[in-house]
Structure formats: C-alpha cells, structure tokens
C-alpha cells in the first residue's frame, strides 16, 4: 500500500474555516487510554495471543507512519513537527494518518530547520540545544521517538501523548528492556516462547527482529544527524520486522 494512503494533508488554510475531521477519525493518543496492567510476563496461551496481537498492531501502525514519511521525503517535503497529537486513527480501516503540515518544508533536502522549531521534546538535540539542522533527519528522529513511545504504551501501558518529560524521551537501555519483554511475549519465525525464560536465555534465543528493532531505534535516535538512516532505509528494516512479527509462532507455557 502506498504511503500516500496514510498521509492526510491538513493545510493551514483549513484552520481558518470550519472543517472538522470526520467523527470516526480521531487523534491516536485519545484512543489509547493508559492501562493499569501491562502485557509483561504472560502466563497463559490466550493472553500470549492477545499480547502478540498488540505487538502486531504496533508494528502495523509503525509501518503506516514510516510509509507516510517516506512518501513526503520522496517528494522532497519534510514534516518537521511529528508528535502524537499529529497522528489520527481511522476507526473503520484502523489506519494511521499523519496530519498537520503547517510547519512542512518544501525542497527539504536543501533546507534548514532553526534551533527551537517544532515541539519540544519531539525534536533532536541539534534543534533543542544546537544551531539547527537538516529537516529530514529531524523527521527520522521524531518518527523513531513516536515508535518508541507507542511501543512503551503497548508493552507497559504508559500514556501516549505529547506531554513526555525530556529526561524520559529516550533511554537506550529501555529499548533493550522492551525488546526483551517482546521476546518473552512471542518469538517470530517458528521459535518457541516460554513464560519461564530468563532475560539471559531470551537474549541468546531471541530472533533477528528483536535485534533489528533495537538497532533501528538506536540508529534513528542517534544524536548525530549524519548517523541516522534515511526514512526509506528505516522503512526497509521495519518491513522485515513487520514480516517476521506476522509469521506464526509456537507458544509453550
């Protein structure tokens, strides 16, 4: 499916007229209420299946998000203000929509984003504490931060909204922990998952998608913009993770 299917162009002009969204299209964060319990440490196969379905839902939404940004960057357009409140969810199709191009930058490959532009802390260090930076790597960073916090919500039940504390915006060690939980919940590609696995055993037995996800998020969230992959490179890796997560697996409890 083309990334343009996930890109809803909400131009600044529409802000000056009465043009509400359809009632079945709602802000993603408003549909994701924090939960008291997480999907960690599943003890029965039916719960494991529900947890696996949640992880598949997560990777589906991430693919839609990245596909939309690929569509923009291929057209030499950068969003420059990616954050949870600019993501909508179509409750009929279940598709993610990227909205609000008020800060979008045309001819982005030759453009510059000044210090402080966008929404803190959803932009990288070169924007928050530096002299600015190129807008496409800024989008890559924000996309990964959204993926990371959506994963936190799915695994741990944390809130998914714009109001994250700066010191909680990204923790490389937390990615490792989340990936370990994901491996505990379900292995892809026919591997076996056991609720009694230790983290050490999981790190040795986890399938390639866990390692790829950890590496992908770390690269996309690198403090050096030149070290971040392009959004198309990220899409290629995420597509592999998507295929592996949707493969059937054997559950042993």
* pTM of the model as a whole: 0.79
Per-residue pLDDT in tens (0 to 9) along the chain, 253 residues: 455 555 554 433 333 333 344 444 556 666 565 443 344 434 455 666 777 788 888 999 999 999 999 999 999 999 999 999 999 988 788 888 898 888 999 999 999 999 999 998 899 999 998 889 999 999 999 999 999 999 888 877 888 888 876 656 667 677 767 766 666 665 433 333 333 344 444 444 345 777 888 899 999 999 999 999 999 999 999 999 999 888 765 433 3
Residue 153 CB contacts under 8 Å (≥ 6 apart), including other chains: 32, 34, 159, 160
Range of the domain at 231: 3-252
pLDDT at 75: 94
Number of domains in the chain: 1
pLDDT at 162: 87
pLDDT at 41: 37
What's the CATH code of the domain at 236?
A: 1.10.510.10
């Amino acid at each position: 499916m083309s990334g343009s299917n996930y890109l809803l162009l909400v131009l600044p002009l529409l802000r000056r007229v009465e043009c509400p969204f359809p009632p079945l299209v709602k802000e993603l964060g408003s549909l994701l209420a924090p939960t008291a319990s997480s999907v960690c440490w599943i003890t029965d196969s039916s719960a494991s299946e529900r947890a696996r379905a949640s992880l598949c839902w997560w990777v589906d939404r991430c693919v839609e998000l990245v596909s939309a940004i690929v569509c923009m960057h291929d057209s030499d357009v950068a969003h420059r203000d990616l954050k949870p409140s600019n993501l909508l969810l179509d409750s009929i199709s279940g598709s993610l929509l990227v909205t609000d191009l008020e800060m979008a930058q045309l001819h982005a490959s030759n453009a510059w984003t000044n210090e402080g532009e966008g929404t803190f802390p959803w932009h990288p260090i070169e924007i928050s504490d530096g002299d600015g930076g190129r807008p496409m790597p800024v989008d890559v960073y924000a996309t990964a931060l959204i993926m990371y916090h959506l994963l936190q919500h799915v695994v741990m039940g944390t809130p998914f909204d714009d109001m994250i504390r700066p010191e909680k915006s990204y923790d490389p060690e937390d990615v490792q922990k989340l990936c370990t939980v994901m491996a505990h919940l379900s292995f892809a590609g026919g591997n076996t998952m056991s609720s009694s696995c230790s983290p050490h055993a999981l790190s040795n037995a986890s399938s390639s998608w866990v390692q790829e996800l950890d590496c992908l998020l770390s690269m996309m969230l690198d403090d050096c913009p030149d070290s971040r992959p392009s959004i198309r490179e990220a899409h290629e890796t995420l597509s592999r993770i998507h295929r592996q997560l949707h493969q059937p697996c054997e559950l042993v409890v």
